[in-house]
Structure formats: structure tokens, C-alpha cells
Amino acid sequence: MSDAEEPANFFNKARRVAVVVLLVAGALSIIGSLLNWVTISRPPLIEGSDFGANNDKVVEEASEPFTGLEAAYGYYSLAGGIIVALGAVLLLGRARGKYAVVSFVASMFVGALALVAYRQISDRTSALYLKMDIEGVARPALGLTLVTVGAIVGLLASVAGVAASPRSREPAP
């Protein structure tokens, strides 16, 4: 029986599912990089507050929300999402665990980046907060959430891809 005639076994099916999920994870990271990472609302002011000589410095409007690409972190998560998807395509074509490992490392990188961005959004002394000159109350938006979910899904799917891939048949040196 040739390979083409051999019925698909459990590991082939599991690897295909892992590939599809890795592609979804990569797409989530890519799309999330393009969407807003931060929503900014006007800080609440108490009615009738008097700030004395600083009344003109009171924030009347909040800063505009910004995407991951505007914050520069989005370029890294975009590249990570592309690497996750590329690893998935290579895993489908070659059925080697090393391609799932590439997706795993890229997912770890994207996840770490997303967690750092989550922390920096609310920290008024962080580099991201200062670089984007945020005026108002900043909160994570849909784009950053998608990047984070893509990273977590990518981690899980890449582990499944490694588990469903055959070991290399080459002898060890």
C-alpha cells in the first residue's frame, strides 16, 4: 500500500487540526495587530471642581485610541503571527515537529509582548504610556485582546502539532 492509499491515522488528523488552529492563531495575532490596542476615555471630573490657576490645564478631551502598529509593538506581534502561520503551513507540508516548535516559540514571543503591553497601558511611567502621550484613562481594546488570545491558542496548538508529528527517522550523529 502506498502512502496515498493509506487511510489517515489519528496522528495525521490531529496534525491537520493543529495546523488549522495554528492558522487561526496566526490570523488572530495579525488582525489584532491592525486593530486598536487601547481605548482612552476622558478622566472623570467632579462637578464644580476648581483647580485654581491650573484650570486651563484640565484635560477636556481624551487622547485618540491607537493600534498596535502605531505603538510599534504591533509590528512585532504582526511578524510573530506571520511566523506562527508559516510554521503551520510547513507543518502541514513536511509533518515534522520542528515546524510546530517554531510556531511555539513565536507564540511565546507574541504572548510575552501582549502581556507587557497590557501592563504598560495602565502604568503612567511606562515607555508605551509616555511614547503614546496618553491623556485620559487607558484600557486594553479588542486588538490587544485578539493578539493575546492568538498567542495562547498558538501555544496550545503548537504543542498538539509537536505531539502529532513523527520523530525524524534520521540516525543521531
Residue 119: pLDDT over 70: yes
**Cα(56)–Cα(51) distance, rounded to whole angstroms?**
9
Q: Are 141 and 101 in contact (CB under 8 A)?
A: no
Q: Which helix (H) or strand (E) is 137 found in, with range?
A: strand 137-140
Provide the grid cell at 27: 490570523
The CA distances from residue 46 to 43, 49, 50, 76, 92, in Å, are 10, 6, 9, 40, 59
DSSP letter at 55 equals G
Phi, psi (5° rounding) for residue 36?
-65, 135
Of 13-17, 93-97, 144-148, least confident by mean pLDDT is 93-97
**Structural domains of the chain ordered from first start:** 11-40+62-163 (1.20.140.150)
Task: Read off the pLDDT band of 1 (50, 70, 90).
Answer: very low
CB 40 within 8 A of CB 137: yes
Q: Packing angle between helix 73-94 and helix 10-34, nearest 10 degrees?
A: 160
Amino acid, single-letter form, for residue 105: V
Confidence of residue 158 (pLDDT cuts 50, 70, 90): very high
The pLDDT value recorded for residue 5 is: 45
For 2-50, write each residue's pLDDT tens digit: 455 445 688 888 899 999 999 999 999 999 999 988 887 766 666 666 6
User: Which three cell numbers, joined as nine digits, stand for 137?
Assistant: 484613562
Q: How deeply is 74 buried, as exposed, middle or buried, from its count of CB atoms within 10 A (0-12, 13-18, 19+)?
A: buried
Instruction: Tell me how far apart the alpha carbons of residues 49 and 173 are, in angstroms, rounded to a whole number.
Output: 76
pTM of the predicted protein model: 0.78
